Each structure stands twice: as C-alpha cells, then as structure tokens.
Structure 1
Amino acid sequence: MRGRRREQEWDATHEVVVVGSGAGAMTGALEAASRGLDTVVLERTALLGGTSAYSGAACWLPGTQVQERAGLGDSTEAARAYLRALTGDAEAERREAFLRHAPALVARLERDPALVFEWRAFPDYVAAPGRMDAGRSFVPLDLAPDELGDLLPLVRPAVDRDRAGLGHPDAPLSAGRALIGRLLLAATRTGRAHIRAEHRVTGLVTEDGRVTGVEARTPHGTVRVRARRGVLLAAGGFERDEEGRAAHGVPGGAAWSMAPGGTNTGEVLRAAVAAGAATALMDEAWWCPGTELPDGTAAFTLGLRGGIMVDATGRRFANESLPYDRMGRALAAARQDGPRVHLVFDSREGGALPAVTVPSTAPEAHLAAGTWVRADSLPELAGLIGVPAGALTGTVSRFNGFAATGRDEDHHRGEDPYDLFFADPHDAPGPNPCLVPLDRPPYYAARLVLADLGTKGGLRTDADARVLDAGGRPLPGLYAAGNTSASFTGRVYPGPGVPLGTAMVFASLAVRHMAEEPERTA
C-alpha cells in the first residue's frame, strides 16, 4: 500500500483499471468501455485469458435469452431454488444480485455482433430442486482466426499447445479461446479499452483511504497506473503459490493446478490484504481428479467411460462418475488413508484411458515414465501399484458383478443424469452403461493426484463486487471478481460454468457501481 502521490507521478491515467484478462476481467473491460469509460487491462503475462482460455467456456448464467432460444424452460426462479438448496441463505444478497443481473448482462453482451452464444447440454452437478438435468450453461460459438487479425497472438492457446510453447493451430478458436477472443474483439472495437500485456501488478496505491491505482512491473520498469473510478481485481487466485497453499491449508499441489504456469501466485490478493481487505474460503478450490503426467504436472480428468478408482487399500472409495469437483473431494479424503490412488482399467479401449484428459499424453509416454503401469493379471498389477492383491482382485470381481446386474450396490454409479452423460452404451454389455466390466487383459493403472481448476477463496466482496475490510465495510475504489474473490457458492460447485458465469456477472456489477460513482479529478 502506498500513500498520497502527486498527479505528475502517475505514468498513465484511466477511469477504470482491470487487473487480469480472464472471462471476468474481459467482461468488466467490455462493460466499462461500452459505458464510455476509458479502460485499461493489465495482464501479467504476454498472453490473455489465463485459466479461462484453457476452459471449455461453459457459462452458468441462468434464466437468459440463450436458454429461452433453446426452449429449455429454465428460469431465474428455478436457479434460485437450486442455489438455495445447495448453499442456503448465508450469501443471499450476492446470490440475488447474481440471479437478477445475469439475464440483463447476457442480453447486453449479445447485442454486440462479436458475442454469440449457444446452449450446450451439460448437466447441473447436484440432485436438488431446480436442477436442470440437461444443464443450463452455454458456450460461445467458434471464432475464425481472421476475425481477430492482429489480436490473435494475444490470446492464450489451448493447454496442450500452450504447455508445449506452441501457438494456435490453423483452425477456428473454440471453447475458452473463443470466449476470450470474442470479448477481446468486442472490447477493443469500442476504442476505449486498452490492453497492456506483461504488466505484473504488485501493489495498490491509496490516497486518503481510497484505492486510486496500481503499481506494476513491466519489462521496462515499474509503472504506476491511476484509476479515476476504480480498480477491478480479476486476476485469478493463488493456486500456483505453493507457500500460500500450505499457509492456508489448500491440499493438492501447485504443479497439479490447471492454471497456466507463471500465473496466479497470489500477488494481487496479498496487495489487497495489505490495503485492508478481508478474505474468506482460503482453504478451498474448484477441485478435480488429475492424471499425473510424466513431467510432474497433471491433466484435468473427467467423464469416465470405464475403469474404477482404488485407494491405497485396493478398494473403491466413491462413484467414479461423480462430477469432477465432488470426485476431487472424494479423492482428497481417500488420500488421507495413503498417498496412492489409481484409476484401474483394462484394454477395452486399446490401452487408452477411458476418460477425457486435458491435456492428453500418449500411453507409451506414461508407461515409460512410470505414471502408468501395465500387467497381464490383476495380482501382478496390484504388486506394481503397491496394494494388496486379494483386495484388488476382490474389488474388480465385485464391480464386474455390479456390471452384470446393472446396479452399483456400493456407490450407485450410473443412477444420476450426470453419471450417464459421458457413458457410452456400446461399451457396456450390461444394463447400466456406466458399469463397464474390467475383463480384458492386459490391465492398466494410472496414477491420480488431487488437481484443481483454481483456488476458490479470496477477497470478501458485497453485491456490488466491492472489496470489504474485516469489519464488512467497502474499501473505496477497490472491486474484485472471479477467483480473486471468495465465491458466493461456498464449498459447493453447482454446475458447469459457475466460475466463469459468476466472474462475468460480478465484474459487470463492479463496473456498474464504478459508473455511478463520481469521477475523481484531483
């Protein structure tokens, strides 16, 4: 935190300063620029989009014209019932602000020709009143590279290409790249949104108790950027900060997070705390199982079509088809009984993992590195992964019996719409497509780790996305959205696209509040 500075000591002045460049940050920048506010986006790396660019771009924004076009029968009332059932009323004010604002935000976004969305089936994650079994989230349409033109190199590529140091393929941008590309295109077309890459924000500047700007390191030195109306922090969490994770009791590891390398180390959060901000949920994250990769990182793993997960005792510990956050929590609990958790599968898919992994790695590379093992028999496989042979063979035999009857008596796999979403009936000879027997040797075991899509705790905020101090009072001039803020959904992950949808809404609400605030000229 810095004290009062003279006007001439600012290196640049804007009405709105946005820190970060994910879906929330870019929505905030577009909303501010569309209101006629001179806006700058400060991104710490050379590429825009952060974890949003790696995502599937599902946006959980209920009761909008997108769901109406698809004829879903979704409504704000149904979403309210669903959220109340899952989270109670502890965050009722922010929940209601989110629900009220989502339809209007989507209508405004779609008035811009650069922004086009379509509903795509992906079930809500929990059986509760108001749930949409087919899902209510939507995604952007793919974006042709030539529409972005010179802006294309600014958008972070997909995770597999980005980790390999590659740019975009000669193909339309899809998923998270399409979302960031479309928001970037819309924002820059206003003529009032300025993009500044390689601006690593390290501190906030305050004057008379108000946040009036930021300090950032650039390749050319430190700069101070003034914000006449407000600073919006939407720069992700602290998932890549191993020390921060340990300090707050966040399980898993920084190397296993899906955030891009070199990002989300918590500097922005620490700067806000130094300015007096309060935090919440700092031990939480958006969890997922991760398949450990040969280089020590992890691949986001979801949508199992077969196989079983076993703990250090060689036994199943959960419904393997659970939504990834819930499966991640089960994985965390299982690892308390021992470090070894494996996905065991057979050769039904030719030795490939019966799941979606992002990024994917060839089985041969896994086998060479030892992150996977292969054996001709289950007892041999048990020895390779260090679990009791009798327990593993008994577990597989019991599961194969469930596959024959179609009923998982232990964990009820295949009884929920989400379970069935990824199942392929052609793989299952029995009546339940989620229960595929393991009976085709050789057998495989893939090492699993507790991964995450980002930390979920952060700065406490109100219904206008204003950052609060320990007494619940807003810090003037400071706002937060996305994983820089503590999620109003608490310890629950309601459905696909909740992180993006809530980030977009609260970034928009922050800008609305800034626009209503008088501009500071002194």
Structure 2
Amino acid sequence: MENHGTIGRRDFLKAAALSSVAMGAAGMLASCAPGGEKGGSSATGSENIAWDKEATIVVAGSGTGAFAALAAKKLGAESVILLEKGTMWGGTAATSGGGMAIPLTDVAKAAGAEDSLEEVLKYFQNASEGRANPAVVESFATNGNDFLNWMLETMGWQCNPSPLFSDYYEPVEGWAPFGRASLGFAKDDGSTGAAFMWTELKAALEEAGVEIMMETPATQLVTDSSGAVIGVKATSGRDEIAIRADAVLLATGGFDHDDEMRAKHMPFKILATNAVATNTGDGHKMGMAIGADVSLMDSCWGAPAVLTTGQDPKELIETGTIAQEIAGTDWAMYRGLPGAVVVNRKGHRIGNEATAYDSFFRAFSYYDNGEMEHINIPSYLICDSACWNTYSMPGHTVGSMDGGYFDETYGSESSGDEVPSHFVVADTLEELAEKLGIDPEGLANEIARFNENAEQGIDPVYHRGEKHLDVATTGVMAGSRTDLANPCLAPLSTPPFYGAVYVPGTCGTGGGLTINENAQVMSAMGEPIPGLYAAGNCSSGVSGGRYVHGGISIGAGSVMGWVAVNHALGL
C-alpha cells in the first residue's frame, strides 16, 4: 500500500464484502472465586472435581473470543486458556471478510462520519423493532472505541470505515449512511481480510502466553454450591479435563448445524449456512444446563444463497437438514445486478433484490395462507444473457467487479460458455419456468411488468435502486454503471435466460444466552450468574436479533468480549 494510513477501494471491498460498561464490581472475582485448593461442584452440585488445569480466565471459542483472550492477558490476567472445539482456528469469523461494525470510533470521525450515541440507540431500537436491550447497546457503543484503539495499537494494524455495507435498515430513524459499519483492517504490507487477522491473532496470543488448546471442546460448566461458575470441563482427545477458572467466557458461535435446535427455534426453514460445522449450540446448551436465560433464539444473520451443492431443497425441507454453502452465498453480489431478479414458484418477485442480505432474507418468511406454506422457500434467481455475460455468478467467472476478489472467492477457473450444473438455461422465460418448476404464465407476466419499469429505471413495487444502500452496495458491485437510468436495474430481455435455486441461508444464528451490559450471562430469574460471560453468536448480542449493518457479528462479539474481560478483571 502506498499510504499506510488508508485503505484503497479494492481493500475496502475485500474487508467489507463478506461480511464488523459499565465497568465496576472490582471485588467481583474475590466474591465468586472458588475456595479451597481442589474441589468444587459440578452443575448438579454433587460431584467433587479434581482440577487438571487452572486459569484466571477461560475463553471457549477462537472467533471473536480470540480478541477477548488476548485482551485478558494483556490487561493483567495471570493465566488465560483458550479452548477451540475444531481443527480450524478462528471458526466462522476467520472465513469472513474480517470487517467490524463499531459505532462512534475515532477512525470514523476522522474519516468524516457524524454520529452520536442518541442516534445509535435510536437506530438499534428501530431496526430491531424494539427487541434490542438499550443498556447493552449503550455498553457496546460506549466501549467500542476503547476496544478498537487498543486493538490497533496492540496488533499494529490500520483501519478505515468502508463506504460499502452501511446501516442495512434504511430508512428507519437513526439510520446513518457511513461510519458505523464494516471497518476494514490492513497491515503495512497491504494484507487485508480475516485470514491475515486471525493468523496474526494466533501469533500474538502465543507470544503473550495464552494457552491455546485446539480440538478441545468445552462440554460443561462447573459451579459451586451458590451457583457461581468456577470452571469448565472439556474433552481433549479421549480425555475429559477440568479447568478451574475465576471466570469463563463463552464465545462458541451459533447453532446453525444443530438440526434439532433450528427446528425448535427458527420460525421457518433455513436451508443453507456458511457457518463452520462446529457451530452446534454448545455454549447455549452449557449455559441453559445451569439455569441461564436465553433470548432472540428465533433470529439469525440472514445470508440468502444460490444452492450450488446440488441438494434438493424439498428434501432439505422435509428432512430438516441444512446445506453447507459457501460459493453461492449472496452478499448483494448476484440478485440485484442489472438484468437479474428473484422470484417464487408463482413467478412473483419476493422483494427489493438490491437491498442488504439480512433484510432481503426476511422476504422468505412470508406465509401464504392460501397455499398454506412459505411460498418463497425455495425461490429462484433468474437473469438474462446480457447479465450473464457481464457479471460473475456462482461458479461462472466473467470479468471482475472489484479487482478480482469476488471472482477468486466465489467464481471458478472456467468461464465463457460453460454453465455450472446448478444453473439451468433456456431460450425463453416459459421454457426456463418449466425447467425450474415456476408457473410459466406468472413468470412471463411478472417479467413483462418488471421490464417496462426497468427501462425507465424505476421499481414501483419494491423501490429497487432508490436507497443509498442499494446504489452504494449493489450498484457499486455492478460497476456503478452510467448507461442505465438506474445502476441497479435493467430489463431481462436478452435470451437465453439462466436460473438457479435460491434459498434462505445464514452466516450465523443470532440468539443465545441473555447478557447484560457487562456481558454477564443472566439467570432465568434475571440475575447475573457469577463468573460466567458470553459474547458473539452464542449470546443475545447487542442488536436485537437483526444484522443492523455490515460486520455487526464480529464487531459486537469482539467489543462485548472486551467488556467481559474488563469486568471480570475488575477494571
């Protein structure tokens, strides 16, 4: 990078594309620390424990939990142990774009953002329809800048807010076009994105003396007779180990890959996820086993996807299973391109295709009480050859939208005339409809109306391309075209036509153990459970179950992990 203090547009896109305290109780650790040399009680209060290890703080999960573990050691914890269930360091976070959403930061202010705590609180409440906890939002908003400045100084990274992936729930009151979302990180050598971040995080943890235990899932919280958490059990190889701790921070991710939990809590079928396979609700289950409250379990971070895996969506629905989808995940790269739409089996469009992934995902929830089913699951992505030959689609690489990142990540080595197996092609819309199982007449009529309006650059049904977010995200992905009346709209009129199955997916579930402003886990009776904290997708989070802007999962998890360790250490 020529200027080490800034990040160029391509690097912003790399960092933003995928994916962003009340302090006190200084005597808290003394009041809940385990007494005696060895021993204590399990969650049942009936078992003496022979401790295999001891630590000031144990962190379960190497995603955003990695920042918390590093902060704990740097802020004075005598010993810190980080447990990672899988073989993959960093979990889902390490596969993302690495962007963080943190409001009210010095770097955003320096870049020209104008914001206030009042506006942040207003936006979170309105975007979540009143489900966000104001005290937790305020803690997140008032501690985020301290965390970010500490991280930049500690890691030696640079950071700027991305102009893309801004607040997603436009135009609710409190919405802001710039400054809160998708902070992108870089090194002096130009490295950007999550891969370099979590590689360097691991090195920093090892240098700081944090003990990292890979392939060691936490399995059970250990409590004393008063109900305070005094440690955790884990499985390491074939052995069960018990680790005594002054505090335990759960950062174990969501429950995307637990079929039973999804069936129990999700309000409609989720057919795809790009979350790592180890996200099976472990932290949720451990917390609930000792009486923890849970919140927002019906929420997830919506990430619609072209189903590239070859699985039958009807079979996924019937069996209650989920596809591990990476290539087809649609971060506003496909559905909103000029010459593309998403329709249901009746041939009707289901929403504004240029909007953000989380808000578009909500269109799948519509229940047709005439058909008595979620008529939008599955839906279908359709485009004409003008779109197909101009833009990349999953498994089909054409040109470049941003210097190659999307093509390299989601495209394929082949291009040109080869059509990936997950797409069908037809000379007419009617033929395409027959191949995909869409009502031919319904599709033909819908596209005719759409085309007439698109020629004029308008979408009177869903207002596609009218919002700042539409133009600054999907419009930019499409190359900020000036030959169109609307950079997000073009007719579907040039045969042949292409179509693929399009399904509701996630990049993580969004509900979990209820936390307060200190990231303490709350009991079902509304009291903090001494010694237990949670952050990230195993917690209730900060945003009321809505993906309010790009990078909120990593941003909220990282900041609340910081809040947790500061509180646990009495700072």
Shorter-chain TM-score range: 0.7 to 0.9
Q: CA deviation at 1:419?
A: 0.8
Tell me: CA distance 1:364–1:406, structure 2 relative to 1, closer, same or farther (3 Å).
Answer: closer
Structure 1 CA distance for aligned equivalents of residues 557 and 417 of structure 2: 37
Give the CA deviation at 1:382: 1.2
Q: Deviations over 1:80-120 (max 9, x none)?
A: 33224334486111111111111111122222143432221
Q: Corresponding residue for 1:151?
A: none
**Aligned-residue offset at 1:182:** 3.6
Q: CA deviation at 1:291?
A: 0.9
Cα gap change, 1:339 to 1:250, in 2 (>3 Å):
closer
Q: Single out whichever of 238-247 and 294-303 deviates more from structure 2.
A: 294-303
1:368 to 1:510, Cα distance in 2 relative to 1, 3 A: closer
Q: Would the aligned equivalents of 1:67 and 1:74 in 2 still touch at CA under 8 Å?
A: no
Distance verdict in 2 for CA 1:107–1:347, change over 3 Å: same
Map 1:444-483 → 2, pairs under 5 A? 444-483=498-537
- For residues 330 and 363 of structure 1, the distance between their equivalents in structure 2, rounded to whole angstroms, comes to 32
Which residue of structure 1 lines up, in the alignment, with residue 72 of structure 2? 32
Indicate how the Cα distance of structure 1 residues 223 and 456 shifts in structure 2: closer, same or farther if over 3 A, else same: same
Tell me, in whole angstroms, the C-alpha distance in 2 between the residues paired with 1:230 and 1:113: 25
Name the structure 1 match of 2:455.
Answer: 404
Q: Counterpart of 2:282?
A: 267
Per the alignment, residue 159 of structure 1 pairs with none
The equivalent of 2:356 in structure 1 is 323
* 8 Å CA contact retained: 1:4, 1:207: no
Distance 1:22 1:214 in 2: 19
Correspondence 1:347 to 2:385: yes
1:229-257 alpha-carbon deviations (Å, 9 max, x no partner): 2000001011110111112235334x611
The aligned counterpart of 2:221 is 204
Match of 2:139 among 97, 101, 107: 97
Between the aligned partners of 2:254 and 2:418, the Cα distance in structure 1 is: 30
- Counterpart of 2:329 (choices 295, 300, 305) is 300
Q: What residue is the counterpart of 1:278 in the other structure?
A: 293
Q: Which of 212, 221, 224 pairs up with 2:242?
A: 224
Distance 1:338 1:497 in 2: 27
Aligned counterpart for 1:372 among listed residues 423, 427, 432: 423
The alignment partner of 1:502 has SS state of: helix
Hey, what's the Cα distance between the residues in 2 that align with 1:206 and 1:436?
Answer: 61
In the TM superposition, residue 314 of structure 1 has moved relative to its aligned partner by 0.5
Asked if 1:511 is matched to 2:529, the reply is no
- In structure 2, relative to structure 1, the CA distance for the partners of 1:184 and 1:140 (3 Å cut) is farther
Shift of 1:16: 0.3
> How far is the alpha carbon of 1:319 from its aligned partner?
0.7
Q: Is the 8 A contact 2:292 2:521 kept in 1?
A: yes
Secondary structure of the structure 2 residue equivalent to 1:489: coil
Aligned-pair distance for 1:15? 0.4
% identity of equivalent residues: 31
Q: Which residue of 1 aligns with 2:10?
A: none
Secondary structure of the corresponding residue to residue 141 of structure 1: strand
The equivalent position to 1:417 in structure 2, one of 442, 451, 468, is 468
For residue 156 of structure 2, what is the aligned residue in structure 1? 114
User: Which of 152, 174, 177 does residue 133 from structure 1 map onto?
Assistant: 177
Give the C-alpha shift of residue 349 in structure 1. 4.1
Which blocks of at least 5 consecutive residues in structure 1 are unaligned? 148-171, 518-522
Deviations 1:362-381 (A, max 9, x none): 68999564x32100111111
Question: In 2, are the aligned partners of 1:366 and 1:372 still within 8 Å (CA)?
Answer: no
Once the two structures are superposed, the pairs formed by residues 56-95 of structure 1 within 5 Å of their partners are 56-87=97-128, 88=130, 91-95=133-137
Quickly say closer, same or farther: Cα 1:364–1:342, change in 2 above 3 A: farther
Taking the aligned partners of 1:197 and 1:86, their CA distance within structure 2 comes to 37
The one-letter code sitting in structure 1 at the alignment partner of 2:501 is: R
User: TM-score with structure 2 length normalisation?
Assistant: 0.79
- Secondary structure in 1 matching 2:135: helix
Asked if 2 retains the 8 angstrom alpha-carbon contact of 1:115 and 1:186, the reply is no
Amino acid at match of 2:214: A
Alpha carbons of 1:19 and 1:89: their partners in 2 closer, same or farther (altered >3 Å)?
closer
**Aligned-residue RMSD, C-alpha:** 2.6
Alpha-carbon distance change, 81 to 248 in structure 1, aligned in 2, over 3 angstroms: closer
> Does the 8 A contact of 1:345 with 1:353 survive in 2?
no
How far the C-alpha of 1:188 sits from its partner, in A, is 3.0
Shift, 1:512, TM fit: 1.1
Equivalent position amino acid for 1:478 in 2: L
- 1:179 corresponding residue in structure 2: 197
The alignment of Structure 1 onto Structure 2 pairs a total of residues equal to 484
SS in 2 for 1:128: coil
CA contact (8 A) 1:120 1:139 kept: yes
1:387 pairs with 433, 438, 441, which one?
A: 438
Cα distance in 2, alignment partners of residues 507 and 289 from structure 1:
28
Q: SS of the counterpart of 2:385?
A: coil
TM-score, normalised relative to structure 1? 0.86
Inter-partner Cα distance in structure 2 for 1:364 and 1:271: 51
Partners in 2 of 1:119 and 1:78 — Cα distance?
18
Q: Distance in 1 between matches of 2:121 and 2:378?
A: 40
Query: How far apart, CA to CA, are the structure 1 residues paired with 2:109 and 2:348?
Result: 45
Amino acid aligned to 1:247: K
2:230 is equivalent to residue 238 of structure 1: no
Q: Which runs of 5+ in 2 are unaligned?
A: 1-42, 312-322, 368-372, 395-405
Give, in angstroms, the shift of residue 514 of structure 1: 0.8
Retained in 1: the 8 A contact 2:511–2:537? yes
| 1: CA distance, partners of 2:69 / 2:255 | 22
Contact 2:162 2:184 in 1 (8 A): no
Displacement after TM superposition at 1:360 (Å)? 4.2
Secondary structure at the residue paired with 1:348?
helix
Maintained 8 Å contact 2:62/2:251: yes
Q: Which amino acid aligns with 2:303?
A: C
Question: Deviation string for 1:163-213 (max 9, x for gaps)?
Answer: xxxxxxxxx76322233234333333323x221111011111112221111
51-60 or 128-137, larger mean C-alpha shift: 128-137
Partner of 1:166: none
Contact 2:393–2:411 (CA under 8 A) maintained in structure 1: no
* DSSP-derived class of the 2:247 partner: strand
> Deviations for 1:272-330, whole angstroms, at most 9, x for unmatched residues?
11111111111111112111013543331022323011111011121111110111110
Pair 1:45–1:365, CA change in 2 (3 A): farther
**CA–CA distance in structure 1, aligned partners of residues 495 and 289 of structure 2:** 58
Alignment-mate amino acid for residue 184 of structure 1:
K
Opposite residue 302 of structure 1, the aligned amino acid is W
